[in-house]
Structure 1
């Protein structure tokens, strides 16, 4: 069944929509059984056809571009009065650049009308997460745009009086070039095909600061797009399951969607493909994050059967980790990584790994206790206590300071000063979540909300509709927007930015690990926190700071908790709380 939708604003309880048709995804899962290919449809995915919101650029012999903004019924006819005509001469090509209004995961549909030439028309298609990327080419000398991980620059044949669909990447913009001398093609429609899981936004957040509302929603949408077959890091790049990336992603999934199968599927995938004596994704901290995520999952859902499935692997992995301690110090030999901005700061990496080792050992002790494994619990507890004997110095690294303080290995005042120094400069989209957590722990809620507004809000100011793999806040003031052709004299935040594996246009502009503010706002401003595994007991402790009100909901295994807090004239906060049956409120 196909349903046609008119244009409407973004609704926070479902995926954002524009002008589109909504269909159940045609994607199938195949397996061979007795010589036959058995097809099973994944019903949770939908594909939606989205009409462009604006024409960014039209060059060469292109006329009738306004017709590409018309809703398309889904069926081409022999009499199409409203077409966009591409007509090439001998000295150039015809091009259009389309904006679909929001980052999506999927591909493109091109529909061609009847014309005199029945030969297939050749088009070059370039996807882009920014205007700059869509205007780039992978075959240019020194190009940073690539076809790695997903194809974003390619040629395609479009049949006469027919349609073609192609593509599987993350994008917002599409450039079409008609190829060939004296070529002509009449297009009825060019639509994006957005593919995502059709799941409700059970968690909600709204407050008296609209900028924070938009940031919460953008973080939720960013992690939603990352929930593909597995929980990916990004939808353009790398489209892989990176366990460290998953921790803030999982926290955001818990906050917005509740218990979802893609989390366990992704954790199990990496576990099954990585011996417990080898670091997950080749990074020692990512094995620590796997342990920490398992702990969080049990805290949130209390699924002892799933935890028991991890017991043998968890035990061997914990022993592998312990073998890399040198007395009271972490001593990991390889795969030493915290985040990209600290990659060349060995002291920050060491401090971060020390803190994460303590956290993983204490998480291991808790899980061993829940599993009734007293021997493993004693081993993990002893290792954690030994590690706590040594406290690395708090460097100028905001990442290291935050991780140390969250494990009570640094002082509140010292860490606060490091994190707040220079404002949002030095934040990172991954580790920024833990910096916010450290500010909350030290009681600096207003300062944390200011950092959210400055750092993540600056991405919105530059045209972002999802949050990025990384963001150098110091470049924001002189940068052009990603949804415009960058003016001369402005810094191109996409083409000229990035570092390490995300140089220039390779930089992912939809990265799930950047969704931390969504979790933080629900946990600390709305104030919802589980205090017993499975959310059987909950503490609700709001911190409105300068906000006048906040309201929202939070998923639990028993159903959503709904909360409203309003500040009175005397500064006191009046709360309205509704708990599902099975959840008890504690002070």
Structure 2
């Protein structure tokens, strides 16, 4: 298990059977997640530092047990008047998915007391109001609400993504005795089977952060965001699934989410209303089969897959894509229709080639040949990427243009400028195909690393390096003269505080570092044959593990004095390793 997660998880909760009373209740459904209760790590802000309306706030930093008692000590007292509503802002140390637990003591007034809870992925969000100025919302998950807490009892409430929580006493002329305020961390208790370490701690932290970002989104279904975008977005799943393959191996959440998207999208509909997202569904299944080798599961997709491929091929004319539905790659490229066309052309080629592979496996030779033929014909038409790094990356990966040219002419221009957290993964992949491993690693350190410099513990929905020039980190109140990197930026659907700071599609560097620096690629379905070809760049050493259905492959690379790389590989029995 990753050391990053061990910082959060100090115990394991065993799965329990349903009580006998529920055994015959077919409506009873077990949750595949567990809970951990987290004590705040610090007090960020209090409305009163003089001790008049907030007394002994440091008691909230004491480890709790979630139980009220009759000892009546070690609590924080919040006292309101007709004019004063005291509030306190707590930091739980890192982003989590879940809610909050409040344990109260025994003031003389036994009536329930109203408190306002505000969750925030940043300090500024937790200090915000729901308005149209800073963009704070309750979309997808309630993060700003008022509840009643009991006298001498426990209240558990909330279901959102957050790191910070602000608690305000709403009722006038009341005394609130808070014994504990703990975060309720909900997650899948699964081991980190894959790992990555090197002599560069920045890269190590980026790998772990990408893994943790996806882990938080592995709830009952695979979401893209734990605050906003708590939905199954199929295209967004592709980078997430590559991360899951590299870190967790096979997990039920992937198939559950892919099947959900299929079942709610009868053809000729497009998944999520976006034609590219139905293509990503095909590409995910190709990659999933390559990694897991689960033919039984793949056969369950056969009927839908063959029909979807027919639908896609019907949306071509004169070797060009003519896709309808929402035409979308990612948000930063959404105002470049020529770039979108080029990207969709490349996606059609990639999807039909993947479809041909899958149909061959599924004993559909006619469909496999048809897909292959249309893909070959579509490669004859090469549209202009129109300066889009997204489109250029896809065209390079589809083999429509030389990767070296795509990188030199478009992707490498301006360094990491005009990267995006979603399609940045495909830009990194294209740079690797061009042999520009050094440039890719520099962008990982610079672009994704800059989010860490701003206090991130998970990767964001979008990011622009320009935002950082005069910005305060998300962990502090924004001082005068500084930009609020959460509240002042963003665009499209993620303006200002609506912006998600935990988005699974941003995890690309995790699987990229495993694939290209550790050097692992799957050759035969189910990982029966893997290839290990490391590219250490400026690193002196790198080591890690890779999960396969047959077990974990252990790898270590060390750069020698003459520049060569010495590799030590320990693979389970039955796995062939190519170099």
TM-score range with shorter-chain normalisation?
Answer: over 0.9
Distance, in Å, in 2 between the alignment partners of 1:167 and 1:267 is: 27
Deviations 1:440-476, CA, capped at 9 Å, x for gaps: 1111111110000000000000000000011112111
How many Å separate the matches in 2 of 1:367 and 1:494? 43
> Alpha-carbon deviations, 1:99-139, whole Å to 9, x = none?
0000000000001111111111110000000111100111x
CA positional deviation for 1:582: 1.3
Instruction: Tell me which of 77, 98, 103 is aligned to 2:90.
Output: 98
In 1, the alpha carbon distance for the partners of 2:139 and 2:13 equals: 29
Secondary structure at the aligned position of 2:483 is classed as coil
Does residue 15 of structure 1 match 2:10? no
1:482-521 aligned within 5 A: 482-521=474-513
Where does residue 54 of structure 1 map in the other structure? 42
Match runs of 1:462-481 below 5 Å: 462-481=454-473
Structure 1 residues 255, 297: CA separation in 2 closer, same or farther (over 3 Å shift)?
same
Tell me if 1:279 matches 2:270.
yes
1:27 is displaced (CA, Å) by: 12
**TM-score, normalised to structure 2's length?**
0.96
- Equivalent residue for 1:526, pick from 518, 523, 527: 518
- In structure 2, C-alpha distance between the alignment counterparts of 1:390 and 1:253, rounded to whole Å: 35
Q: CA deviation at 1:66?
A: 0.6
Contact 2:338 2:385 in 1 (8 A): no
Shift of residue 22, structure 1, vs aligned partner: 5.9
Structure 1 position 487, deviation (Å): 1.5
Deviation sequence 1:505-559 (CA, Å, 0-9, x none): 1111100000000000000000011111111111100000110000000000100
* Aligned mate of 2:280, from 260, 279, 289: 289
- State the distance in 2 between where 1:325 and 1:216 align: 39
RMSD of aligned Cα (Å): 1.9
Counterpart selection for 2:242 from 251, 255, 262: 251
TM-score normalised according to structure 1 size: 0.95
- Aligned partner of 1:263 in structure 2 is 254
Report deviation, 1:276: 2.4
Q: Which residue of 2 aligns with 1:136?
A: 128
Say whether residues 1:406 and 2:397 are aligned partners: yes
| 1:81-120 → structure 2 map (5 Å cutoff) | 81-120=73-112
Cα deviation, 1:191-245, whole Å, max 9, x if unaligned, reads 0000000000000000010000000000000000010000101111110000000
- Give the stretch that moved more between structures: 472-481 or 282-291: 472-481
Q: Distance in 1 between matches of 2:7 and 2:417?
A: 34
Partner of 1:366: 357
Q: What residue in structure 2 maps to residue 239 of structure 1?
A: 230
| 1:5 corresponds to | none
Q: Deviations over 1:125-156 (max 9, x none)?
A: 00000111100111x35351111100000001
Are residues 564 and 19 of structure 1, via their aligned partners in 2, closer, same or farther at CA, if it must alter by over 3 Å? closer
Aligned position for 1:578: 570
Asked if 2 retains the 8 angstrom alpha-carbon contact of 1:207 and 1:549, the reply is yes
Residue matched to 2:337:
346
Pairing 1:548-563 to 2, within 5 Å after superposition? 548-563=540-555
Which residue of the partner structure matches residue 62 of structure 2? 70
Provide closer, same or farther for how the CA distance between residues 324 and 424 of structure 1 changes in structure 2, counting only shifts above 3 A: same
Alpha carbons of 1:466 and 1:28: their partners in 2 closer, same or farther (altered >3 Å)? farther
Deviation at 1:414, TM superposition (A): 2.7
Partner of 2:30: 41
Alpha-carbon distance change, 26 to 237 in structure 1, aligned in 2, over 3 angstroms: farther
> Is the CA contact 2:105–2:177 (under 8 Å) kept in the aligned structure 1?
yes
Contact 1:15-1:198 within 8 A present in 2 as well = no
Output the CA distance in 1 between the equivalents of 2:11 and 2:84: 35
Contact 2:12 2:189 in 1 (8 A): no
Residue 16 of structure 1, CA deviation: 4.4
Contact 1:22 1:47 survives alignment (8 Å):
no
Q: Larger deviation: 161-170 or 297-306?
A: 297-306
Shift of 1:14: 7.0
Q: Is the 8 A contact 2:127 2:166 kept in 1?
A: yes
C-alpha contact 1:359 1:407 (8 A) present in aligned 2: yes
Q: How many residues align?
A: 573
Question: Which of 445, 452, 456 is 2:437 aligned to?
Answer: 445
Unpaired segments ≥5 residues, structure 2: none
Secondary structure, counterpart of 1:201 in structure 2: coil
1:338-375 CA-to-partner distances (Å, cap 9, x unmatched) read 00000100011011100000000000111111111111
Comparing 468-477 with 512-521, which one deviates more in the overlay? 468-477
Q: Which moved more, 1:46-55 or 1:77-86?
A: 77-86
Please, which runs of 5 or more residues in structure 1 have no aligned partner?
A: 1-10
- 1:377 maps to what in 2? 368
Alpha-carbon deviations, 1:64-93, whole Å to 9, x = none? 111000001232211132111101122121
CA distance in 2, matches of 1:527, 1:583: 16
Contact 1:361-1:381 within 8 A present in 2 as well: yes
Change in CA separation of 1:196 and 1:26 when aligned onto 2, cut-off 3 Å: farther
Cα deviation, residue 17, structure 1: 3.6
The answer to whether the 8 A contact 1:76-1:162 is kept is yes
Distance of 1:75 and 1:267 partners within structure 2: 41
